[in-house]
Structure 1
Amino acid sequence: MIKKYIPYILLLLAAGLLYYTKTHQRGKTSIQTEDTITVPAEPSSSFNRNTNKLIYSKHALCRMECRHIDESEVKEILANGEVNYDKIEKDDRGRTYPLEGVTHDKQKVRVVFAPKRDSELVVVTVIDLDRDWHCDCK
């Protein structure tokens, strides 16, 4: 009798695991920073560049590697980049803020940040706006 319910139980477990994986994909790598800058991101709200921690998602780390963008360049864009208001997105996890600028090695870069609790910023992705790099990031 129980044998006929095993496929349904396994299916429910697989669905639960998929849901958990999809809702916890933000990465755990973190870097301590000490910059304190607050700039308005929109007329009605503000993007706080003050952060105790930058958390790099696995996707961002992969994109940084294949696009030859290092952590110093990400911090440079965080400090000096301009918010691209047209690319700000919002979903059930919160807003993402794309900052664009030119790094010290002359790459035109967009870095997408997602504010998190306790003055943390998640680096979601990093994009080279001038060159299309081949990446095998999954």
Structure 2
Amino acid sequence: MNKVLPILAIIIIGISLLIYNIYDPLLIDSESFRRNDSNIQYTRHARCRMSCRQISEAEVRDILTNGKINKLKSDPHDKPCPTFALEGYTKQDGQHVRIVFAQCESILRVITCIDLDREFTCNCK
């Protein structure tokens, strides 16, 4: 019995660490993401996806303001900058989108834009 307890403790600790690593992104709260569009930048990839999927800067800003954080698609520990995936429907045409933002200190970078309902053939690299 004395030999089993240390092994059991190690197994329990290992399972706990595994569960923590899987569910850690779920610990994102709305306070950890600043929804400030005063210093927003768009990557070349985001611009290409926006053009291909007909998503405007105004729609991106609206999703930034009103979208819901998808905790499973966000990574507050991402390097070099935490990433947050916000989802919602655009006001102009009701497109169901996910916009991925990287919060890099005072700069909010748009990484990509995804239409969740329609497949598009985009030639973005």
TM-score (norm 1): 0.66
> Which letter maps to 1:129?
L
Q: Which runs of 5+ in 2 are unaligned?
A: 1-26
Aligned pair count reads 97
- CA distance, structure 2, for counterparts of residue 43 and residue 122 of structure 1: 19
Which residues in structure 2 correspond to 1:67-82 (within 5 Å)? 67-82=53-68
For residue 87 of structure 1, give the secondary structure of its aligned residue in structure 2.
coil
Aligned to 2:113: 126
> Which letter maps to 1:60?
A
Offset, 1:88: 1.0
Tell me, yes or no, if structure 1 residue 93 matches structure 2 residue 80. yes
Extract structure 1 runs of 4+ deviating beyond 3 A: none
* Cα distance change on mapping 1:133 and 1:50 into 2, 3 Å: same
More helix by share: 2
> Which letter maps to 1:74?
V
Matched-pair identity in %:
48
8 Å contact from structure 2 (residues 82, 104) kept in 1 = no
- CA distance, structure 2, for counterparts of residue 92 and residue 86 of structure 1: 17
- CA distance, structure 2, for counterparts of residue 100 and residue 129 of structure 1: 9
Q: 2:69 aligns with which of 71, 83, 90?
A: 83
Two-structure CA RMSD over aligned residues (Å): 1.7
For residue 48 of structure 2, give the secondary structure of its aligned residue in structure 1.
helix
Question: Larger relative CO (CA 8 A, sep 6+): 1 or 2?
Answer: 2
User: For 1:85-124, what per-residue CA distance to the aligned partner results, in whole angstroms no more than 9, with x for missing partners?
Assistant: 0111233212100000000111000000001122x20000
Which residues in structure 2 correspond to 1:1-138 (within 5 Å)? 42-43=28-29, 46-89=32-75, 90-104=77-91, 105-118=93-106, 120-138=107-125
Aligned to 2:13: none
Offset, 1:45: 5.7
* Cα distance change on mapping 1:63 and 1:45 into 2, 3 Å: same
Offset, 1:79: 0.5
8 Å contact from structure 2 (residues 53, 115) kept in 1 = yes
More strand by share: 1
